[in-house]
Amino acid sequence: MTTIDVTPKPLLNRAMVAVTSAQFLSAFGDSALFFATLGVLIQKAYPLWSHSTLQMLFIVAYVVLAPFVGQIADSFSKGRVMMVANGIKLLGAAIIIGGLDPFFGYTLVGIGATAYSPAKYGILGEITHGDQLVKANGLIESSTLAAILVGSLAGGWLVDISPYLALAVCCGVYAGAVVANCFIPRLQAARPGMRWNLKEMVVRFADSAKILWNDQGTRMSLVGTSLFWGAGITLRFLLILWVPIALHIEGLLTPTLLNAMVAVGIVIGAAAAAKWITLDTVNRCIPAGVLLGVGVVVFVLQGSLPLSYAILMVIGIFGGFFIVPLNTLLQHRGKQTVGAGNAVAVQNFGENTAMLLMLGLYTLAVKVDMPVVAIGCVFGGLMVVSIGGLWLVQLRRQRG
């Protein structure tokens, strides 16, 4: 077991390149698999509301396993945790392509993603140092969202040919991610020797959540990122309903391309945040979250395809500028208090609880035949009010 001293090394050292490569492949697989599995549901004539239910099962894994995965990430070498997690994703995709229950297979992929996330973000604090952490987060977010862009395009294109061809590509990509994880140096565990008692793990998770929630900065990060991802997952499904109604275009390719434009924007926003925001100026990102909600409302009220691409790219830019500094702040303070893995696990619990809640509301809205434009306006408005309230609280604290 060896430890890498990254202090004199550049950002793009061997460990960082391996982590970024593995993350790109893993995120590519996740993005393409969503459309591939959705294609299977459409091909087998599952009801419309089951599409968001599929995503909810994926998210349930994050919520249920949150008390444990952060401690797992901190108890073992994080690179090896990432490798096993990608192996679980590969198994889930193989189950779907094998013709077995797609809901079970996709839930298994969710379990792999749940275990992967704390290790992925937690390892950044171990292979970078100081202000490099902001740049490392920007690089990871850019890699992730570039993967979402390419994966969405590939998934949307392949699923129109054959959902099972798309699934085969996903299996190959996950296998590549496992191989890339093998090149991450075997770092020492952040907190070795922890006891594996389920009750104690839940108590430790609750204690970590309490510590993070009582800190002003990490509380802002937890609330902000939860709102962001809750709105983001809703937008993904909203596009699938909105495109045929507003643009009169059938199929999954156009919603896929529109989702990709959001990813392009987030890459740009993440790069801007890495350049202009530091740990001392994190509050500058909050107005971008408010503008993101405004952008969603503006988007659903228009019906032009070229304008849709432009608006969604702008929404993505606001999103990237908003989310990267909040992630960085949480990792930095989490590493100093409860451990980076535990901090990300608490974050995942909050984010996925918000996503589950918003998807539940979205599914309910679809079942009662609420107009798609009204759904978009409600969710965009909730984003504006919630993040606007967070911004006002921060301003009052600064002045007080």
- Percent of the chain surpassing pLDDT 70: 88
Is-contact 21 208, C-beta < 8 A? no
- At 115-157, the pLDDT tens digits run 887 777 667 766 666 666 667 777 777 787 778 778 878 887 8
Q: Write out the DSSP string of 233-271.
A: HHHHHHHHHHIIIII---SSHHHHHHHHHHHHHHHHHHH
In this prediction, residue 9 carries a pLDDT of: 56
Share of the chain above pLDDT 90, in %: 11
Dump pLDDT digits (tens) for 188-210: 665 655 666 777 778 878 888 88
- The encoded tokens of residue 264 equal 């392009």
> 81-85, 128-132, 219-223, 362-366: which range is least confident on average?
128-132
DSSP class of 11 = S
At the fourth CATH level, which superfamily is domain 14-399? MFS general substrate transporter like domains (1.20.1250.20)
Distance of alpha carbon 66 from alpha carbon 162, whole angstroms? 35
d(CA 105, CA 98): 10
Taking only the tens place, the pLDDT of each residue in 279-318 is: 777 778 888 888 988 999 999 998 899 999 999 999 999 9
Quick one: angle between helices 253-276 and 216-242, nearest 10? 160
The runs of H, that is alpha helices, within the chain are 14-43, 49-75, 78-97, 102-122, 124-127, 132-161, 163-181, 198-214, 216-242, 253-276, 286-300, 305-337, 340-367, 372-399
**Dihedral over Cα of 212, 276, 257, 172: its sign:** negative
What is the pLDDT averaged over residues 19-42? 86
pLDDT tens, position by position, 158-189: 887 888 898 999 999 999 989 988 887 776 66
Structure tokens at 291: 């503008």
